[in-house]
Amino acid sequence: MENYKINKIKQNFYGIEQGHVRSFLIVGDKEALLVDTGLGGRLREFIEGVTVLPITVIFTHADNDHTGSAEQFERRLMHPSEFDYYKCHAEKSVTMEPVWEGDIIDIGTYCFEIILIPGHTPGSIALLENEKRFLIGGDSIQIGSIFMFGNGRNFHAYRASMKKLIGRINEFDTVYASHNVLSMDANTINTLYDAAGKVMENKVYGRPEERFDGKVKC
């Protein structure tokens, strides 16, 4: 079924792999939380093979590889700074409820705080599980390419977001990413902050690389 693969990360917490992108499913006491919906396909049907609980979807940002299959779910949360981009680029645009900095999503077994981290996109968010000491960072924190070209990408905002997370780095040990390596040490954020600074200071330079539908600088 659409080549979905599910990996158990810890109790009631799963990574759902689909091609190059990863979503996360967290099963609570009375509901489940799905972080992003991948590339599209029969995701709802796949999820129902794992849990029969009601599902709330929250999007780390509005890039198409994170919002496919959104229409299959009734409750969908996204930061409002992503709304316009989503409506313009989604193949099947659906209504989103707003989620804000500092909001708490408590599903019983897990409780997440929303942290706004603009840069990769204007309304990118991270989800912090303070008690269990991990962060879900979307595309903004990963080992690999972080796309910073195109409308809405902002290096200054990105570096400020990494600095913001560094200020809270004593609250989590592990970061889970949407692409490439599943998990990494929280100190990866320091590396990304330093790397963004080098780019802004012209101490490192991009190179042309073929990506998707054309050449970009990486």
Domain membership flag for residue 23: yes
The token pair that represents 11 in the structure block: 């109790």
User: How far from chain centre, in Å, is Cα 78?
Assistant: 11
- How many domains is the chain partitioned into structurally? 1
Domain membership flag for residue 207: no
Longest dimension (CA), the chain: 51
pTM of the model: 0.93
How many CA atoms lie less than 13 Å away from 16 in the CB half-sphere? 27
Task: For residue 132, give Cα distances in angstroms to 11, 53, 92, 172, 203.
Answer: 11, 22, 35, 8, 37
Domain that holds residue 9: 5-202
Domain membership flag for residue 191: yes
The per-residue pLDDT for 215 is: 52
Domain membership flag for residue 217: no
Domain membership flag for residue 38: yes
Domain membership flag for residue 209: no
**Rounded-to-integer distance, Cα 169 and Cα 162, Å:** 10
Domain membership flag for residue 79: yes
The per-residue pLDDT for 93 is: 79
The per-residue pLDDT for 218 is: 47
The per-residue pLDDT for 205 is: 75
Task: For residue 107, give Cα distances in angstroms to 25, 54, 182, 211.
Answer: 12, 11, 23, 38
Question: Which residues make beta-bridge pairs with 14?
Answer: 8, 25
The per-residue pLDDT for 14 is: 99
The per-residue pLDDT for 211 is: 61
CB-CB contact of 38 with 68 (8 Å): yes
Domain membership flag for residue 24: yes
The per-residue pLDDT for 178 is: 96
**Rounded-to-integer distance, Cα 1 and Cα 4, Å:** 6
The per-residue pLDDT for 1 is: 47
Per-residue pLDDT 10s for the chain (218 aa) are 468 999 999 999 999 999 999 999 999 999 999 999 999 999 999 999 999 999 999 999 999 999 999 999 999 999 999 999 999 888 777 999 999 999 999 999 999 999 999 999 999 999 999 999 999 999 999 998 887 877 889 999 999 999 999 999 999 999 999 999 999 999 999 999 999 999 889 888 766 666 655 555 54
CATH code of residue 132: 3.60.15.10
Helix and strand numbers, DSSP H then E, in the chain:
5, 15
